Structure 1
Amino acid sequence: MEPSLPSPDLFASMAVAVLFVIVLWDAFWLTRQRLDVPTLGELPNGGFAWESEGAQELIRQWGNLGSMAAMMVLPWGLVGVSNTNPAYAIAWDVCLGLHLISLLVPKRYAVTRTHAFADGQRYEWQRLRLSKRQPTRRIMLLRKGWGIFGPLPLGGAQNDLSIARSRIELALDPDGKWPRDGPATSEEE
């Protein structure tokens, strides 16, 4: 008796459903960025917040954009071979296209004594480190323990990035003198 493989359409529908959930999840976090970073510039606790522009996000996300372009093309080579309905490849490309757009939307970032805020999420400094090799037009943080899957690039204007980088270095240095130690705000709790 020959084992039967699952239907290619069933497999394709599951892949598209998982991708759709990922796109929705990322979109949800992007909507939170204005809640987590409501003001820009110097923060009362000595932190700093800034916003990027679309072109700066293009520089920040170039690796992800290339990967997604490849992910949009690859299924088309398998559609004919596997007898999968092309509608699933179209749905896959639509989901990835929406995700590509979300990558290029201007983002808000913030650096406080206790956290970095990026992509609508909050990261504790003890879980991050600065990359030894810093790119010239963005800041590259690395998530500890994530290996090659851990880069967390921060985009923005050069002036904003230089201020942010100095605050990041202070936040990562336990002996660093934070600019204005004041009462903790809600974003530091």
Structure 2
Amino acid sequence: MDIRADAAEVFALVSDLRRKARLNPNIEVVRIELEGDEPVREGSTFRHRFVKAGRIFEYRSRCVRCVPPRLFVSRGETDPPFEVRVTVEATPAGCRLTQRETLEVPAEALDALDAGPAPARAFRDVVRWLPLFPGARHLGSELRALQRERVLGTLRGELETWLHAVRAHVEAARQALAQGESA
């Protein structure tokens, strides 16, 4: 995601998970706290609590690598754990923000991520029963693969929407600052 702003400015936002989370239009932040002292650095721990699709999620994450203003890596202390790697690269027009999220999701956990309308719930019910029928086990595997792709597509779309919101926020703040200086 290309952003018309200084890399250090963008890094300051995305490495502070309290500020960054509030820009995520896919969730309602209840609370995000930094456990320990400022500034955010390797070893810093955040406690997260938010609502998504009517469900409450709560977990801790830890910064495992921090190289200002270029790299911020955090790991969710969840089961299974996940990792978020954020890079900010300077460009002639500002910077490029990249976020990669890594998560291994067991088949039974896909259902929790595959929230959706009644047809999706019916699909989940069918997939759960297929292992009971030996002749249909391969079909169950294929359906799980389709479900995994659907969930992955949803998560990619949500991440893209979030990064667009980060860009809009940073660029609007820069524009407001520039207008204030010219007044």
- TM-score higher than 0.5: no
Whichever structure has more strand as a proportion of its residues is: 2
Whichever structure has more helix as a proportion of its residues is: 1
Per the shorter chain, which TM-score range? Answer: under 0.3
